[in-house]
Amino acid sequence: MKKIIFTLLILISGFLNAQNTAVFEAARTNDLKTIEKFIKEGNDINLLNSSGYSLLILSVYNNNYEVAAYLISQKANLDIQDSSGNSALMGACFKGYSSLVELLLIHKASPDLVNYNKANALFFAATFGQVKCVEILLKYKVNTHQKDIFGKTALDYAVNQENDAIVTLLK
């Protein structure tokens, strides 16, 4: 009997892992139907995959506005962090997806949330030359004085990158 129960648990676990893998792939590929079905079945919208990414983080990082907007409408945690402490907003700023930056901030994602290096979203935008994202973050009153674990600010990184447009915005 114990072997049967153990086998059933393994099979159920395998099924759930396959289902979870499919929903994370759906977030990556903008498959809204799969995401909607997953949420309507009562599954955890803030589930993390084995790499520590949420559905929202994956949809934003892959520039899937439709899925991200749906997840936000279903009350996904906007400030959920991956295994490095990075958020969807940080990913959008890194990639330069200004429409997703705006969407996240309109719905109250924290511009001042910091990762494990104490960097907020502004660090990502400034370091990777995402001028439009910097402008949006400033509009939402991001902390421009935040210092990372190295004692540097986003302005320091913009200066290092010789990005005059961002340096001007941050001065």
Segment 83-102, tens digit of pLDDT: 999 999 999 999 999 999 99
More confident residue, 17 or 43: 43
Q: Do residue 49 and residue 107 come from a single domain?
A: no
pLDDT of residue 21: 83
In terms of domains, do 111 and 55 share one?
no
Domain that holds residue 127: 86-171
The token duo for 171 is 């001065």
Token couple for 90? 């940080």
Contacts 24+ apart (CB under 8 A), 23-27: 23/47, 23/55, 24/49, 24/53, 24/55, 24/58, 26/67, 27/55, 27/56, 27/58, 27/59, 27/62, 27/64, 27/67, 27/71
pLDDT tens-place string over residues 40-98: 999 999 999 988 999 999 999 999 999 999 999 999 999 999 999 999 999 999 999 99
pTM over 0.75? The answer is: yes
Instruction: Indicate the number of domains in the chain.
Output: 2
* Portion of the chain with pLDDT greater than 70, in percent: 88
At 115, list the tokens. 């990762």
163 φψ region: left (φ > 0), alpha (ψ -120 to 50), beta (else): beta
